[in-house]
Amino acid sequence: MGYTLNFAAVWRSFDQLLAGLALSLGLAFVSILIGAIIGLLVAFALIAKSGWIKRPAAAYVTIIRNLPILVLVLFAYFALPQMGVRLGKIESFIAVLSIYSGAYLAEVFRAGLLSIPKGLTEAGLAIGLTPLQIRVSIIAPLMFRNVLPSLSSTVISLFKDTSLAAAIAVPELTFEARKINVETFRVIETWIVASGLYVVTCSVLAALMRVAERRLAVPR
């Protein structure tokens, strides 16, 4: 082919890639944190007895899980301003990824909640705890322990989804890689390095989640 690999130009811009990676991690962390709150509330709604609570929650999960996240990103950034809702690039992406992650985490948390023995709720009521206290101090901590394996894959998947922020020019890792590619014309080298950063970061995240699983594992 006559193409000679030369990483020099990419290494000179490596700090830009690291800055993009840092922003990707920040986007993922904030979005997953907000999404976890949304997901937990929706999960409790999904297992509620009242149809007025359950049906809107189920509709939210169904609609969001069946929409491509890129469509949601473009809608939030380009369509919402036409309705008078104006958000910055980073803010709109965080809002979308939070809503998107909330729908997926809701299903993860719902499965975890259903795995909790009902006798724990009855025991909590018997010692005088309110339903809210039981959910916060007993049900939620046990549920998080149970769903850690599923949560790990969801977190890694959502981190990779931050690459879609490049579609609206958020300067995360993929955007910075594309920018360096255009400036240096070192296509293969740029994407090899960017891919390596994604692989290493996902591997570190997976290792950290495995450590958390071992430390918080429910004794058998």
pLDDT recorded at residue 217: 65
pLDDT, position 119 = 78
CA distances from 37 to 126, 140, 159 (A): 28, 11, 17
pLDDT tens digits along 197-215? 999 999 999 999 888 888 8
Ranges of the chain with pLDDT below 70: 1-2, 217-220
Contact 175, 169 (CB under 8 A): yes
CB count within 10 Å of CB 63 equals: 10
The pair phi, psi for residue 186, each rounded to 5°, is: -95, 75
- Write out pLDDT tens, residues 152-176: 888 999 999 999 999 999 999 999 9
